[in-house]
Amino acid sequence: MNKRRYFISIILFIVPLICFAQENQMQFDDEKISTENNIENTESEFDIDSLSSDEIKIILDNDVFTYYKSETEQYDTDLKKKKFKTTEEFKKLNTQIHNFSSKIRQHVFIQSLNKEKNKLSEYNIKRNGFYLYLGNNYGGDLYDAYPPKSINKILFNKLEISSEYIDSYLKKYKVFFPCPEKVGGEIEDNLDNISLKIEYNIIGKTTKNFEYINVNDFNSVGSYTITQDILLGAKLKIIIHNDSTGKDIFSYSFK
């Protein structure tokens, strides 16, 4: 009788432990499946054209902890991050962000240009082409400051630009592209219906130092040397589009 009570006591002690272990295992598996599903969903929902320039920089840096902030926010110390880097979950996230980085480098980006900032000059009959205005070395807000040779927050180092001075200090940056005179006439005749687009690849990111003048009503209030992280572009093409006909009039690929 005593042996029977002994075995019953053991069974009553072990069964709850087994149930508790199974419950914890199921919870762990659910969390694991949830994490894997989140990773798979993130990859299937990855839309390059909806990314901001800051998000692209983070991906090109392969920064798992910043890009996947919600999935990794519990790893908030260097030691926790070090341990997390040894897990399968980190390996999956790291592989995924490397895949995203490769997709970005292979992607062809198309963006519309701001008609006020990126204007075309009059047709230059001496050079047979147009100048495209890129930006200025001055502005009323430092948030508008971008280095020469940049368009839409993308730096194109190989562009051969020139400057058009407003006074001794303030200047506009512009780049020339050739265009047949006949096409140039069509563009000038339809300026109200013309829109500009650029097509390019992103090949990485870089750090650029440049001078910028903060002005107020064209009265200089300060000159700054700015250091800026910026995306690096290549294979730049300008596309001139007639909005009224829905057709591209002309395109030119810069070397």
50: DSSP letter: G
Q: What is the rounded distance in angstroms from the CA atom of residue 225 to the CA atom of residue 239?
A: 33
**Buried-exposed string 121-152: b where 16+ CB fall within 10 A, e elsewhere:** eebeeeeebbbbbbbbbbbeeeeebbbbbbbb
Give me the pLDDT at residue 32, please: 47
Pairing type for strands 138-139 and 194-216 reads parallel
Give me the pLDDT at residue 116, please: 83
Q: What is the rounded distance in angstroms from the CA atom of residue 97 to the CA atom of residue 46?
A: 11
Please spell the DSSP secondary structure of 129-198, one letter per residue: EEEEEEEESEES-GGG---TTEETTEE-TT--EEEEESSSS-EEEEEEEE--HHHHHHHHHTGGGEEEEE
Q: How do the pLDDT tens digits run along the chain, 255 residues long?
A: 455 555 455 554 554 555 545 555 544 444 444 444 455 546 667 899 999 999 999 999 999 999 999 999 999 999 999 999 999 999 999 999 999 999 999 999 999 999 888 999 999 999 999 999 999 999 887 888 999 999 999 999 999 999 999 988 899 999 999 999 999 999 999 999 999 999 999 999 999 999 999 887 655 578 889 999 999 999 999 999 999 999 999 999 998
pTM, entire model: 0.79
Domain ranges, ordered by start, for the chain = 1-32, 46-107, 109-253
